[in-house]
Structure 1
Amino acid sequence: MTRYRKPLFESLTPDIESSIYISHQFEKDVSRKDYWHFHNAYELVFVTSGKGKRFIDQKVSEYRNGDLLLLSPNTPHNTLFKEHTGKTFEQYVILFDLSIFKRFFAACKEFNHIGRLFHNMGGAIAFEGNTKKKLANRLKR
């Protein structure tokens, strides 16, 4: 019988003047990281340097330089860096609660579709192509 670890809740609190949590993670050797966890917020992740395995809920995939993902709240996830031992790993992480956009969605009928996308996405969305390039450039600023 295979036993699975229960994911740990990771609470990240934004600065007092902010409604979002932003982290720029830059590490030389991250091979020891193995942290199955979840947050109660949306998480936008942009990997600028690194490769390895990524676990999101019950799915396993490879990640590489340039990956851009949006994870929904309470989605267990983990990133393993075994293939990246001894190399530099860099990523940007932004956590936010959808409530910061409620007034915006209510004021602009056209954005109701975006609100529904967030609420119904379940798991993760990977951005590709031009959308990924535009978002990545903004995250690097």
Structure 2
Amino acid sequence: MRLTRQPLAPPLDSSVSVFHHDAANPCPVLWHYHPELELLYLPRGAGRRHIGRTVSSYAGGELLLLGPNVPHLSYGYGQDDTFEEFGALFPAQLSSPAPGAWPELAPVRALLARATTGLVFGAAVRHAIGPQVQHLLTLPPWERLLSFLSILQQLAQYPESAYTVLEPSPPVHASPAAQAQLSRVLTRLHQRLSGPVSVPELAAEAALSVPAFCRFFKKMTQRTVTEFVKECRVQRACQLLRHAQSVTEVGYASGFQNLSYFNRSFRQLMRESPSAYRRRLVAGELVPPLL
């Protein structure tokens, strides 16, 4: 299938489109991509980032710079009512102007070239830059553009040790219909997450046979259904461990029907036991290791 632009309806009076998503105004799509670059800021919270074939965890918020046409799962997927994100979308032309044009932007263009597969910035950068991203929502187009260029210039001054480059991913060639098809499947999967997940039921939601659906799901998410479900359940467990439930209660509430399988899955993905993860939460160590 031919790679197709995700419709975003950018404003007519601005080259930088800003957005704000929370529980009351969620991202309208789940698994998606778009030709614009994206700068995303989460002031707080923890969860799972799924960008291309990179699946990892974040905590304490997020600051992400993502290149064009990189398939990714909405950060709001599976989150509770405390979730909030701010972001800006801007055209890829900024990273490749005519030779010799705007030499002052050379550091910014170098940064954007490194962001092709995605850059995740550390906590110090997030605390310094994130509120500026949030403030873009309050600015008229001209001031927004100047402020946005200032943000990119500041990011370009940080050393490479200040961010992590995400793993390159093969391009996903999917039509808008295929993306909508996957979004329906993910919505149904999320509704079933606390109990048994039926692959035939998900296949029926996609109007595909089970073998065709499994190939489709792996192509679109870079994960098998089993892997994806396990990662979603561990993410839910990470959220529930912040509350007063016992580890056993958390395991069952997250959809694991077997406590030993829950502990084994959690340790496999989080590199520690649920009890150890909870102890770090209580101690204020909110940044879990990458999955």
Task: Tell me which interval the TM-score lies in, with the shorter structure as reference length.
Answer: 0.7 to 0.9
Quote the residue 1:75 is aligned against: 70
Quote the residue 1:3 is aligned against: none
Q: Does 1:38 align with 2:33?
A: yes
More helix by share: 2
Deviation at 1:15, TM superposition (A): 1.2
Distance 1:64 1:8 in 2: 32
Distance 1:122 1:100 in 2: 13
Q: Rate the CA distance shift 1:50–1:28 in 2: closer, same or farther, 3 A.
A: farther
Quote the residue 1:66 is aligned against: 61
Q: Which has the larger radius of gyration?
A: 2
Q: Does 1:18 align with 2:18?
A: no
Runs of 4+ more than 6 Å apart: none
Q: Does 1:115 align with 2:109?
A: yes
Deviations 1:18-59 (A, max 9, x none): 1111101121596xx871110101011101243321100101
Q: Rate the CA distance shift 1:139–1:24 in 2: closer, same or farther, 3 A.
A: same
* Residues 32 and 72 in structure 2, CA contact (< 8 A), matched pair in contact too: yes
Quote the residue 2:134 is aligned against: 140
Quote the residue 2:87 is aligned against: 93
* Residues 67 and 115 in structure 2, CA contact (< 8 A), matched pair in contact too: yes
AA at the equivalent of 2:20: H
Distance 2:53 2:35 in 1: 18
Distance 2:4 2:59 in 1: 25
Distance 1:8 1:50 in 2: 32
* Helix, strand or coil at the partner of 2:127: helix
AA at the equivalent of 1:17: D
RMSD: 2.9
Of structures 1 and 2, the one with the larger relative CO (CA 8 A, separation 6+) is 1
More strand by share: 1
AA at the equivalent of 1:140: Q
Distance 1:73 1:57 in 2: 12
Structure 1 unaligned residues grouped into runs of 5+: 1-6
**What is the number of equivalent residue pairs in this alignment?**
129
AA at the equivalent of 1:70: L
1:56 corresponds, among 45, 51, 56, to 51
Structure 2 unaligned residues grouped into runs of 5+: 136-291
Q: Rate the CA distance shift 1:88–1:8 in 2: closer, same or farther, 3 A.
A: farther
Give me the TM-score of the superposition, normalised by structure 2.
0.39
AA at the equivalent of 2:38: E
Distance 2:32 2:4 in 1: 4
Deviation at 1:120, TM superposition (A): 4.1
Q: Rate the CA distance shift 1:17–1:10 in 2: closer, same or farther, 3 A.
A: same
AA at the equivalent of 1:90: E
Give me the TM-score of the superposition, normalised by structure 1.
0.74
